Amino acid sequence: MSLQEVKNISYLPGFQVVVCRLCEICIPPKNPLRRYEKNHTSKKDHPVVMEIHWKVAEYMATLDLLESDKVISPRQPIPHLKTVEHGFICNFPRCGQCSSSESSILTQYYTHQKHIPKGFKDWE
């Protein structure tokens, strides 16, 4: 499969990432299907049919991709990648995961703690 077959992604070999052109966010290489199931179903703003989900996952499996915490930040904007000016960063020791919404950083924080008391925030 080539990028011509799937026009809603961009492969950036210099950064070893695949970017979703619909939402301008990198697709995680370990579980791209989960990202599509969460963000590109028929009930979301940018629906993508299941056949494309699988084609993207198959294509990504052929590439040498980095996890988000291993990507080296560029000094200039990257084409097709959304620039987030206001977001959230996890303060859990040795984490530093970033997100553009508080609900997604909360979901991410559950990977560190199974229970989060109401009103608790360990992100900024």
Residue range 89-115, pLDDT digits in tens: 778 787 777 777 777 777 777 777 777
Boundaries of every domain in the chain? 9-70, 84-124
Residue 81 pLDDT class (50, 70, 90 cuts):
low
pLDDT score, position 67: 83
Residue range 7-39, pLDDT digits in tens: 788 888 888 888 888 777 788 888 888 877 777
The answer on pLDDT for 1 being more than 70 is no
pLDDT score, position 64: 92
The answer on pLDDT for 78 being more than 60 is yes
CA–CA distance, 120 with 53 (Å, rounded to integer) = 35
Q: Which has more pLDDT, 99 or 81?
A: 99
pLDDT score, position 80: 64
The answer on pLDDT for 6 being more than 60 is yes
Residue range 31-75, pLDDT digits in tens: 888 877 777 777 777 777 778 888 888 898 999 998 877 877 666
Note every long-range contact of 17-20, with CB atoms under 8 Å and residues 24 or more positions apart, other chains counting. Answer: 17/65, 17/66, 17/71, 18/56, 18/59, 18/60, 18/63, 18/65, 19/78, 19/80, 19/81
Q: Answer whether 48's CB lies under 8 Å from 22's CB.
A: yes
